[in-house]
Structure 1
Amino acid sequence: MSRDVRVAIFRPDDERLAEAEELLDSLGAEAVADPMLEVRPTGDAPDDGEYVILTSKTGVELAADAGWDPEGATVCAIGESTADALRDAGYEVDVVPDEYTSSGLVEVLADEVAGARVEVARSDHGSAVLTDGLAEAGADVHETVLYELVRPEGSGESAVLAAEGELAAATFTSSLTVAHFLDAAEERGIREDAIAGLNEAVVGAIGEPTRETAESEGIEVDVVPEVADFEKLACEVVETAAPTYHD
């Protein structure tokens, strides 16, 4: 497969971006690395709770760096990647929902959290589905913002390429990456052209919430993997964009 199959990736500029570039290279595609999220730690650590919920690998790493001790709490991870990060940091994981979403976690916990203090430690862009759902189940919900997610200065190369019809595919890994991509396009005065370009390309969304955000903005989504995992997303997107990549 020729390297003109350009796939935009929006992961933060750390090991996640490097791993994504390496993965796309192994699939025979050219990665257009355009980070749409920059992590800014707040310096806070998870508060005490009978249940403590972590929703990302980044949050786990920041909690561990802060010396967080669960002190007998029921530790909950929103998905397997977060659970793996917790285990790698030396924590035991008690709850991982079958559906790796806020609503999936609420469903698992709804029957047992009434009257319990539930600590949710995450970014400043966490979904209200989680906190509202737990509160409706009768939990005393407290939220700690471990980090802020901002759009990096200078981001938007992928929006320019999309507007010019030079992208074969794009991989959105959160609703916020969709919003920041569109903000970058708007900043350059090419929002509509960028959306039109994406709609001529293969667009992947890591899960249903991301798909819904993209489609609400007029972006047609072609790929949503069954499991919210970047490797699965990238493989399915490249396979859809260039079905012979593995030959």
Structure 2
Amino acid sequence: MKKPVVAITRPADRAKKACEIVEKLGGSAVLAPTLDLKPVNTDSLKDLVKNKDSLDWIVFTSPTTIDSFNLFYPDFFNDLNCKFAVIGNKTGSLLKKQGIEVDLMPDDFTAEGLVEEFTKLDIRKKTIGIPRTASARATLPEGLKNLDNKVIVAEAYKSLFPMDEKSVKDLIAKIENSEIDAITFTSPLTVHNFFKISEDNEKLVNLLSDKLLTVAIGPITGNILDDYKVKYIYPDTYTVPDMMELLFKVWRDSNGR
């Protein structure tokens, strides 16, 4: 039985779990990060740390944000007297490892989902810290501001163009040579950067739509694939394990397995 070869485009330091899942499900993983993440100790992050006692809530949208605090401010989570909201199981699990219980996590792992939960609970006139990457969408801070909250946004890490373009170019060559069965994207930037490196987007769109199984982690990433006119699928729950389970189910169904 042929093993499906699955391309993983997420940052290298966060791709280990995805590769392990692919192997466990009976596939072979090809890692070609189209995004690099770098924790940074910015002035805005310093200000957030300095004013942590004024926070009613702090929102973590990415594991990398927690990595950044552990790197620059390892005592940050000590005596932090506020509530915690997260987007995603992975981020919530990392907080629990810090000894912190999560107060709010939406079923819909998106900024829209979290804003909806804050709206349902009528959380207003609070001071909310959001450490994140500067390239993130404005949906979350704007949505919370619209509920009359004071929102403090701090840049905790940078989302960078991939340092190793060669691995992405090698992946594109493998796609053109029919050596890849499926490809996964876990954020809008993983899609954008992938096509920035490509020398023939039209050809690549056709290959991803017609020759590969293209899988997005959720609808926000899917919207960017829509912009490029790539056909794709995404799971009901926006996590890496669910994305991989869907990928293998669809691949096996289409290959008569």
TM-score, normalisation: structure 1: 0.89
Cα gap change, 1:22/1:78 in structure 2, threshold over 3 Å: closer, same or farther? closer
Q: 2:67 maps to what in 1?
A: 61
Identical positions, percent:
25
Q: 1:208 maps to what in 2?
A: 219
Structure in which a larger fraction of residues adopt helix: 2
One-letter code aligned to 1:2: K
Contact (CA 8 Å) 2:129, 2:151: kept in 1 or not?
A: yes
| Aligned partner (choices 173, 177, 201) of residue 191 of structure 1 | 201
One-letter code aligned to 1:213: I
3-state SS in 2 of match to 1:142 = strand
CA deviation map 1:97-132 (0-9, x unaligned): 121110111111135442211111112222211011
Number of residues paired by the alignment?
241
3-state SS in 1 of match to 2:26 = coil
Deviation at 1:64, TM superposition (A): 3.0
Hey, what's the Cα distance between the residues in 1 that align with 2:70 and 2:163?
28
| Aligned partner (choices 221, 228, 233) of residue 217 of structure 1 | 228
Cα gap change, 1:246/1:75 in structure 2, threshold over 3 Å: closer, same or farther? farther
1:226 aligns with 2:236: yes
One-letter code aligned to 1:43: N
Q: 2:38 maps to what in 1?
A: 40
One-letter code aligned to 1:218: K
3-state SS in 2 of match to 1:235 = helix
Cα gap change, 1:23/1:244 in structure 2, threshold over 3 Å: closer, same or farther? farther
One-letter code aligned to 1:146: A
Return 5+ residue gaps in structure 1 as ranges.
none
Q: 2:57 maps to what in 1?
A: 51
Q: 1:26 maps to what in 2?
A: 24
| Aligned partner (choices 229, 235, 240) of residue 250 of structure 2 | 240
Structural RMSD (CA): 2.1
Deviation at 1:246, TM superposition (A): 11
Return 5+ residue gaps in structure 2 as ranges.
none
One-letter code aligned to 1:130: L
Deviation at 1:190, TM superposition (A): 2.0
1:73 aligns with 2:82: yes
